[in-house]
Each structure stands twice: as structure tokens, then as C-alpha cells.
Structure 1
Amino acid sequence: MRTHARISVIGAGPGGLTCARILQRHGIQVTVYDRDPSADARNQGGTLDLRADDGQIALREAGLLEEFFRLARPEGQEMRQTDPSGKTLFHHTPEADDLFKPEIDRGQLREMLLGSLLPGTVRWGYALDTISGPADGPRRLHFAGGETVETDLVIGADGAFSRVRPAVSPVVPAYTGVSFLEAWFDDAEARHPDLAELVGQGSAAAADGNRGMFAQRNSGNHIRVYLIRRVPADWLATSGLTIGDTARIRARLLDEYADWSPRWRQVISDNDGPYVDRPLFALPVPHTWEHMPTVTLLGDAAHLMPPLGVGVNLAMLDACDLALALAGSATVDEAVQAYESIMLPRSVEIAKTLEHGAEFLLSTEVPDFAEGGEPR
């Protein structure tokens, strides 16, 4: 019975934590296991929008929507697109009361979710190795270092290269052919005023069909920029570079973007600190699996897609649907079936739409809301 089930979530990202929070609100015990040694062991990444029709639905069920709005930046919905010469193609400025998809730093979102959980819910330093046991349970989690835990339901919320996914699916993500190279800019208004003006309170983008740039405002006067390029996944190694070769990478990038405007090229020449290499992977479309009563997936573990604004929102909506199914069903098996009957068709439909979405990141087309419509 689900009221007595031992529920284990693997991964303390937004999806896993949202699921745990909603389960606890319904009086259901849950434990979250994460490979990081602590909550602040690494930077959580840039800013993201949470949308009214998915991410915000999950936060409402979690009882955290008002707190989210206190932290979020509605002004972060500002968007500008230029061509490589720097000519503005469109500029969207949100209305003062527009709360459709306000921005929040990923780290702030995680802190909010962690703070909402009962003490001891998350166990840090637990890197899952394998899962054993019969399909109808109980299952045994084998962690690096030798510790094992017996459980009745395993929820894989552990991202692109999930260690839970092999229990239900043999599929692994494939490289899309497009890669991000991330750069950081601190104290933007004082030290990088031209970039700060270009980005405004939200984001700015440009592309020429083969390469692109996307810059986004984070809280605390920080800006992150992603250089988007069609390169092999191992381009650094095949070029005789390592990610620490900042000067040599910068020289290569300045050559690649030689015909871009000085305003955009300063993104390459003026960043603070080293770059971060982020090749983009995606799961094949469609990705489904045969129902198993003791294991299921949510978020990127279930449906990794190109980064076009749906990832975290879908993960949190998955988490919400799964937690509510567990709260409203007589057994874990019934709950997992109910959840997957909603999540799998939804994710397949969206994944089909975004199947070649990595190429869109390099497109010169202006988004369809640029002529005065509402952003989606």
C-alpha cells in the first residue's frame, strides 16, 4: 500500500525535490538521495523561467507559489534578438504585471525547495550505482562505497545520464551535434556595461545559421553567456585543447566569430574565469518503456530534450503528477500506472515538436511572438 511504501527519489534537482515536497504535504514519507556531498557542493547553473501552465502549477501544489513570486524576476522576461552585426531584430519588454514565466536562479529555486522539506529528507553523498531486486519489489539500491537500501518505489529524477533509467529502458542519450560553451560575467553593470545594456533585465540572442550566442541576466548582477556552435562532442580534445586553456579557446572563438560585431565579440574577449563545455544530448523520440510497478522516471531522466525552455518546467510538472497520483491511489503500482498514462503521451508529443530543436538555437528566424503576440 502506498501509505506504508518506502519511496526513494534519486536526484535532488528541482524535479526530485518538488516530488518530495508534494508527497510530504500529503503525509507520505519519502527519502531523496543525491550524489553531491552537500547542497552547496557545486554551482547550480543559470536562470530559468517557470511557466504558469506547468512549473507554477507544481509550485502551487507544493504550497510555494507565493514564495516563488517573492524571489522571481518578472522583468527577466525581457528578450532581445539581434543579427550578428548587432542590429536589433525585435525587443520584447514584459508588462509590469506579467507573471506568465518570470525568471529565477536555479540555485534560488533549489534552496527554496530544500528549505520546504522535513529535516533529513535529503541524504547527501549517495551516488547510485545499480538497482537490483525483482520487478514487483522490493528493490535494492546499491550506492558507491557499498551501502545498500531496500525500497518499494524508485523514482529516477537524476537527469540526462540517469542511473535509474537502465532499470526500465536500455536507451541512452545521443549527441545532438550542437554544443554550448558557457562564459560568466560578474559585477556586470560596473565591469561589463555594454553587455549589461545589451542584455537588459532579461536575455539577448543572435545567430547566423552556424553559430549563435545567448546571454541571460542572473540575479546578483551576474550575466551568463552561451556560445552555441555546431561542433563534434569531443572538439576540445581533437583540437588539442583542454577546458582550462582559456586563452587558446578564446583565440579560436575570436577567429570563428571574426565577422560578428564588436559588441558581441566582447562576450568572447571579456569573460571572467574559464569556460564551461556543455555538449547537448537528447533521448530518441519517442522514448517510452514497459510499465514496472517499482521504478519510474521524471524530467530529463524520462525525456531529455534540447534546452528550449521546457526542461525544468516539465520535470516539475512530472513531479507534481506523480506525487498526486501516489497521494490519490490505493497502491504504488496503481499510482505509477496513472502517472505514466499522463506523462508519457505528454512528453512524447513535446519531444516530437522539439526533436531537432538544437538546430533552432542556431536559426536566424525571429520568434513568432516578435510581431506583438504573447511569448509562449
Structure 2
Amino acid sequence: MKYLVTGAAGFIGFHVCKHLLERGDEVVGLDIVNDYYDVNLKYARISELGINREKIIKGKLVTADSKPFSFIQLNLADKEALMKLFESEKFDVVINLAAQAGVRYSLSHPEAYVESNIVGFLNILEACRFHPVRHLVYASSSSVYGANEKLPFSTKDSVDHPISLYAASKKSNELMAHTYSHLFGIPSTGLRFFTVYGPWGRPDMALFLFTEAILRGEPIKVFNKGEMKRDFTYVDDIVQGVLKVADRPPKGDPNYSEKTGDISKSKAPYKVYNIGNSSPVELMDYIRAVEDGLSKKAKMELLPMQAGDVPASHADVTDLMEDTGYKPTTAVKDGVAAFLDWYKKYYSQK
């Protein structure tokens, strides 16, 4: 089938494109390639998929020589250009992973989240409305659970108390998708990602920051004095789940009632899943895995909790496992080791 993957130059988007191509699908990647973090890393990901940086022309679809992959540098907020792309390419499935990421960045740059996560997602929905697709899969986030204290986090739980604009934008995406699924019959599935890590990861995330600081002999910033748990999930496990979901458009339940208590379902062709490891790890154990992989101890700066952050995350993935056969298998020590192998190789070439 023919897939559009937005956020293709991003961490998860790159890996999704890579796996789709490996299994024989045709892929069009889209990304704005902004400077939220190192654009060289973003272009390097696209190069791995078959298109070198010098061939990329903003707003033009460029095709790889040796594989069924094309790429376009485009802002989702450009509705006219996006509509033309949908009209010409006739996608079967859209996997929307493009977003302005980061909880902390949303405290200082709120407008970026409105443009990318609200306006950009609205344009994706409009494009799917006027150029129908078999399935729209889109990235939500574990951040939507906000101030919730009950663990593990379940899609049956209310998520009405976000504590960052990033989280609020992702909750908005779920509401917008349901509206379009109800009104226009667009099969849509939202995925609440839980702390994804692995090779080609984002430089603003903990594993990257810890690795850089330890290698430089600088202190790492450890928030809430290390008293945190995260449902760290290896990127290959995440991609396995994304593809299983993409292959299974929701049909909706005509007998659905809110009285059942499962607000992740609907009469409309709409579904929301958690996608995580479902096995939280203490932050200090995560740091030890990095220390062991580098054979070097970390200097630590113990700090209070940051605004917009939460002390623990834990995904209940029961419904995702039952519906799709999703099964994460990568232990943190193995996932961290794979990241460190990639990191050393990538930066030895710089």
C-alpha cells in the first residue's frame, strides 16, 4: 500500500518509514525540517532512507533512486500545498507523526504548538476528508494523563486535567479526530506514546542528554532528585505496534455506550490506544544502564521537579495487545546499549 508518514525526518517517523520500506510498502515522507534540534541529524535520517540533503527542494516531491521512497519538505500549516499532495499521490494510509514535541519547550514557545499540533493536524483531517484514506493513524502522547495519579494509565481514564500545553494539544488532536470520524467516517486511531528511546533518538531527550554529558565529564540534570519512573519503550517495539495498528482500521461499535466506561471507543470508526512497554523503570536504574554502557560514572545535579512534568508513567496496553498482538520485548539495558552503539558510530563520523 501507499503510506504518507509525516514527521519522516523525526525520530519515530524515520523508523516507521524504514520498517514500511523493509516490508515492501511505498512511502512518501513529509517533514518541515525545523530547527527545534539539530537539522543535520534530521537530514541524516532522510539520507538513510535514500535521499541526500542536496536533492531536497522545499515544497517539491523528490524520489529515491533505489527504493519506493519519496520525500517532501513541507509545513502542515500550508493547507493548499498539503491538499495538492493528497490529490496527486492518493494515499491508502496516513501515519501522522509530525508535531511540535517537548513538554518544557511548550512553556516558552506556545505558539509553535498551536501552528503544528492544532492547525497542522486540522489540515491533515481536512485532507483525509476530501481525499479519503483507509486509515489515519496519529501520534498522541502519554502526557495527556497530566495530573492523573492512578497507575497504570488506562485509556478508560479521564484525561481532562493536562498540565502542559503540549499535553493539551495532543488531547485536542484526539477530540478533533473523533469529530471527523463521526462526521465524515474517517477511520482514525490515536496512539499515546510512552517515553520512546533508541538509535537516531532526539537530542532533547534524557538518553541523549545523559550520554553527551557523561562523555564530556559534565553533570547530568536529574529532576525530582531522581525519584521518577518512566515507561521507557524501545523504538523498534513502538514501530511494531504502529504498523500493527495501521493494518487494522477501527470500524466503530454501533452498540457503544458511554455507560460501558471505555471512552477510548466510539460508534464512529475511532480508537485510542496506549503504546508503551508497560514495565516502568526507575530513573536511577536507567542512568545506571547508561553508565554501564559507557563504563563511566555520571556526575549528577539533583534538581526539583520541572513544571509540566510528572513523577511516574505506566502504560496499560492490554487492549492494544488483545486487538493487535502487540508485544514489546526489548529490555532497557539492551535498548540503551543499542542507542550507545549507534551514538558512538554516528558521532565518530562527524
The two structures have a TM-score, normalised by structure 2, of 0.32
Mark the structure with the bigger radius of gyration: 1
